[in-house]
Structure 1
Amino acid sequence: MKASVIIPNLNGAGWLRDSIESIWAQTEQDFELIVVDNGSTDESLAIARSYTEGPYRDRYTLIENPENTGFSHAVNQGIAIARGEYMALFNNDAFAEPTWLAELLRTADADPRIFAVSSLMLRYYEPELADDAGDYMTLLGFACKRGDGLRASRYTRPCRIFSACGGAALYRKSILDKIGVFDELFFAYYEDVDLSWRANNFGYRNVYCPTARCRHICGATTGAVRYNPFKSIQSGRNSILLPYKNQPLPMLIVNFLPMTLGYLLKVAMFRHRGFGSDYAKGFAEARAALPKVVKPRPGWRALPCYLWCEASMIAGVFRYLVYRVQRALKIT
């Protein structure tokens, strides 16, 4: 089987059926669909169960968790039983164009060193604007969505990226078997950047495919289009775990000052928006989680990979500053 599409779901009654139907409508049909329900209490669980009967039942699996185990754990459950050569992650509030999967597979098949392929995610209510065109990491210690709120026409060229957005991305299973799956310490948010960063450190590539398109209702599941207490806590927590886990000690020392500046800026921003205490709670959770972090050890041969990541994060600072100016001037 060519691909396994995995959709984690939590109380997605308003959009899950349309999301699933967009997957069944793909031009590429050599795939299975795995839905992992994370303790839904709305009608979305009944929607997910309805596909266990009908024309697609032989290519459909539903996993039902009694409670919300987090995005990473749910996705890993799907990966554990998947039969595909590739794993395609898809949000329950995303809706794929018919050639979405075929374009992802075409891109991945072109180079065996490609680990992840990221889609062009468009804003559902403003489809002329990008929601995500791959993610980038900054030297300030936090990750950003490339193209968020800018014209999608800016992002028509394929390119290498730091990280694939797990909301609509393809991963090569053979490389997952080598470097590991999603880290379940990252309950939600940044878990996809962590995985892509790990792949970078091991010498693999993450790329962006502009012809793999989908529309996305940003934050529909968590209720966090921008900020809320849950997202603020997760952001504070995982923004500490992410660089600590993926940078060797010399990089952490070199990058300590810019990361500290970045965290201070984030603290000020979250306080300004009324979520300062939640962000601080995330920092406290990070301190408790640090002893549990398992740092990847790709070996001395990873030095060129570390240098590429460092250069990419330096470039990410300038990319972020340009983006903030564009948003301040309302340039799309």
Structure 2
Amino acid sequence: MPIRSTVVVVTWRGHDHITACLDAVAAQTRPHRLLVIDNASDDGTAQLLATHPSAPEVIRLPRNLGYAGAMARALSEVDTEFMAWLNDDTAPAPSWLAELEDNLGDAAAASARLEHPGGRVQSLGVGLTADGHGRDVTSGPVFGFCGGAALIRTAALRAVGGVPASFFCYYEDTDTAWRLRLAGHTIVTVPTARVTHRHGASTGLGSVTFHRWNERNRLLTLLRCAPAVVAVRELARFAAITAALPLRRNVPDAPNFRPGLRCRVLGEVVRRLPATIAARKSITRRSTVRRGAVWAAWTSR
């Protein structure tokens, strides 16, 4: 059987958890190419990769480009029909890749079933909220794929502009799925493609950097992909909440409610506005579906 998929695993300081992922990929029932992008790990990951029995193909980057940057780098190396995205803290079932390939159909991308170690479903894909947040969904149709374990048509991914490398981490999957939707593609979920996921093993969910990237990239995704009125509304809303926080009582004790972090997010978004507007124009040229139609279809669910 010919190899149709390149499985891309991005790692950063993955020494303590990537072995389970490599073992699981090696046990797949479907032939594949395995490409590991090492984000300049300094914890012995490089040595582990060099001695693992599966002998993965490795590209070691000179500096940490984040998940988005590493996936963008990997895309330039992919020569197969499909590109599979896989977190280094996952362990896919042996039939994971075969299930994705066999059930993709005419869609541009397929999201797998990510499970907590105990078996409870964590995500079947990404949904879109009325204020433009991407969120994990556990039932029904999905707006987008979860980048932790997904299969994407390589040609379709390149045609819509590839991976937003400058995001560094978070929302690169939602942004990519949104662009695929705007280009007229469909995205499916394949619940039989099961993957155990140690969520946040690499990045630290709830940390200051997590909230910074998450908030910034949500706003950038809206500015790139959403109807203009929505993007401007949500940016103004974020700024208004930031300005009001010092005057409020009982503010939640979470990093994304700290004025300093939010001001930093706003500064980064403003500095990126020229490039973001240029990207929006490019996305518009590639689109076959109106932004308003995609927004209405998925935020009304």
TM-score, structure 1 normalization: 0.80
- Size of the aligned set, in residue pairs, is 287
Aligned to 1:329: none
| Cα contact 2:90–2:195 (8 A) shared by 1 | yes
Q: Tell me how far apart the structure 2 counterparts of residues 282 and 235 of structure 1 sit (CA, whole Å).
A: 9
Matched AA of 2:112: S
Q: Structure 1 unaligned runs (5+)?
A: 148-154, 316-332
Once the two structures are superposed, what CA deviation does each residue of 1:158-208 show, in whole Å capped at 9, x if it has no partner?
x64111001100000121121121111211000110000000001001111
Instruction: Please state how far the C-alpha of 1:12 moved relative to its aligned partner.
Output: 0.8
Q: CA separation of 1:21/1:257 partners in 2, compared to 1, >3 Å: closer, same or farther?
A: closer
1:281 aligned onto 2:281:
no
Q: CA separation of 1:47/1:258 partners in 2, compared to 1, >3 Å: closer, same or farther?
A: closer
Aligned to 2:296: 310
Tell me the secondary structure at the aligned position of residue 157 of structure 2: helix
1:243 aligned onto 2:255:
no
2:169 paired residue among 181, 188, 191: 188
Aligned to 1:120: 113
Once the two structures are superposed, what CA deviation does each residue of 1:15-37 show, in whole Å capped at 9, x if it has no partner?
111101100101112x1000000
Q: Tell me how far apart the structure 2 counterparts of residues 257 and 70 of structure 1 sit (CA, whole Å).
A: 26
Instruction: Please state how far the C-alpha of 1:311 moved relative to its aligned partner.
Output: 2.5
Instruction: Please state how far the C-alpha of 1:215 moved relative to its aligned partner.
Output: 0.5
2:210 paired residue among 231, 253, 262: 231
1:297 aligned onto 2:277:
no
| Cα contact 2:219–2:235 (8 A) shared by 1 | no
Aligned to 2:86: 90
Aligned to 2:199: 218
| Cα contact 1:118–1:169 (8 A) shared by 2 | yes
Equivalences for residues 249-268 of structure 1 within 5 A: 249=228, 252=231, 256=233, 260=237, 264=241
Give percent identity, aligned residues only.
Answer: 25
Instruction: Please state how far the C-alpha of 1:260 moved relative to its aligned partner.
Output: 2.7
Tell me the secondary structure at the aligned position of residue 83 of structure 2: strand
Q: Structure 2 unaligned runs (5+)?
A: none
Tell me the secondary structure at the aligned position of residue 35 of structure 2: strand
Matched AA of 2:222: P
Aligned to 1:205: 186
Once the two structures are superposed, what CA deviation does each residue of 1:263-304 show, in whole Å capped at 9, x if it has no partner?
849x97x9513312324422221121122111111468423x
| Further displaced range: 7-16 or 178-187 | 178-187
Q: Tell me how far apart the structure 2 counterparts of residues 215 and 281 of structure 1 sit (CA, whole Å).
A: 34
Q: CA separation of 1:262/1:210 partners in 2, compared to 1, >3 Å: closer, same or farther?
A: farther
Matched AA of 1:32: R
2:121 paired residue among 130, 135, 154: 130
| Cα contact 1:141–1:263 (8 A) shared by 2 | no
1:9 paired residue among 1, 8, 11: 11
Aligned to 2:146: 165
Runs of 4+ in 1 over 3 A off after TM superposition: 250-253, 261-265, 298-301
Aligned to 1:39: 40
Aligned to 2:22: 20
Matched AA of 1:69: L
Q: CA separation of 1:284/1:19 partners in 2, compared to 1, >3 Å: closer, same or farther?
A: same
Q: CA separation of 1:26/1:271 partners in 2, compared to 1, >3 Å: closer, same or farther?
A: farther
| Cα contact 1:5–1:87 (8 A) shared by 2 | yes
Q: Tell me how far apart the structure 2 counterparts of residues 299 and 4 of structure 1 sit (CA, whole Å).
A: 25
